[in-house]
Amino acid sequence: MKRRKLLQLAMASIPGSYLAACGASSNTGLSDTALSDILAGDNDGQPLLVLPSEGEMTTGEMLIKVPSSSMAGHFSIMHGELDGLQLLPPHTHEFEDQAVYVLEGELAFEFAGNGEVIVAPAGSYVIKPRNVQHAFWNPGSEKVRYVEFSTESGFEGYVRDVEGADSVPQLELDYGVIHNMFYAGELVKTHGLTSIHRVPQADFDLIMGMI
């Protein structure tokens, strides 16, 4: 769909008397000058509409729906999934604050290694401040889907560049995303989990053998 058509749809519900008072054109709800400025200023080529089937799947298995380049570098929006009884290992972010919105299922969170579990059902938001260690996991058997909001652009770089365990030490330095894999094993054992996101079975067995 063309950008002009999207603007027409977005402005269609505004009363005509108000548009006339603003000097707006009848077909878009915007003055010709304003509309030209908006269309001319779309230099990054990103669409106004992101369809359910669209997005960039990263090597970190996060689907970038809205890159930070579309939001003046201020924040990004991604989708993620966790299998049943799977852990997203404890880690901290040095450079970004985050929030999770649970789309389907239920997620359990723990912050700062304090042992307190926060359970977030579908429809919940959970705020994850920078420099606070956090982990979350799927306590059920069905796949959980969630939305990740991240300030800045660093987390985007991390999920685009991560390949395997060998890539993580340098990425932690580059992007300030620091993992605590020993504590990940403790969480798995404590909460009866069966896997860690993006950790191969052999490495998972090694981690659990250290607990």
Write down all domains in the chain, each with its CATH number in brackets. Answer: 3-40 (no CATH), 56-209 (2.60.120.10)
Q: Which residues of 42-52 are buried (b: 16+ CB within 10 A; e: fewer)?
A: eeeeeeeeeee
> How many Å apart are CA 93 and CA 130, to the nearest integer?
5
% of the chain beyond a pLDDT of 90:
71
Spatial contact of 210 and 186, defined as CB atoms under 8 Å apart = no
| 13: CB partners within 8 A, 6+ apart | none
Q: What angle do CA 86, 110, 129 make, to 5 degrees?
A: 115
- Residue 20, φ and ψ in degrees, nearest 5: -65, -40
What is the chain's mean pLDDT, rounded?
Answer: 85
User: Between 100 and 4, where is the model more confident?
Assistant: 100
pLDDT digits (tens, 9 = 90+) for 173-195: 999 999 999 999 999 999 999 99
Q: Is the pTM of this model over 0.85?
A: no
- Say which range, 40-49, 69-78, 116-125, 150-159, has the weakest mean pLDDT: 40-49
Spatial contact of 103 and 82, defined as CB atoms under 8 Å apart = no
Kindly list the distances between the CA atom of residue 46 and the CA atoms of 21, 67, 68, 126, in Å, as whole numbers in the listed order.
31, 9, 11, 28
Kindly list the distances between the CA atom of residue 125 and the CA atoms of 48, 69, 146, in Å, as whole numbers in the listed order.
24, 24, 10
Closest residue by Cα to residue 134 from 159, 97, 84: 97
pLDDT for residue 35:
47
The average pLDDT across 133-151 equals 98
Closest residue by Cα to residue 120 from 105, 132, 131, 135: 105
- Please write down the long-range contacts of 109-113, taking CB distance under 8 Å and 24 or more positions apart: 109/134, 109/135, 109/136, 110/134, 110/135, 110/136, 110/187, 113/180, 113/183
The average pLDDT across 102-111 equals 98
Give, rounded to a whole angstrom, the gap between the first and last alpha carbons of the chain: 54
> How many Å apart are CA 166 and CA 55, to the nearest integer?
27
pLDDT digits (tens, 9 = 90+) for 153-165: 999 999 999 988 8
- Residue 46, φ and ψ in degrees, nearest 5: -85, 145
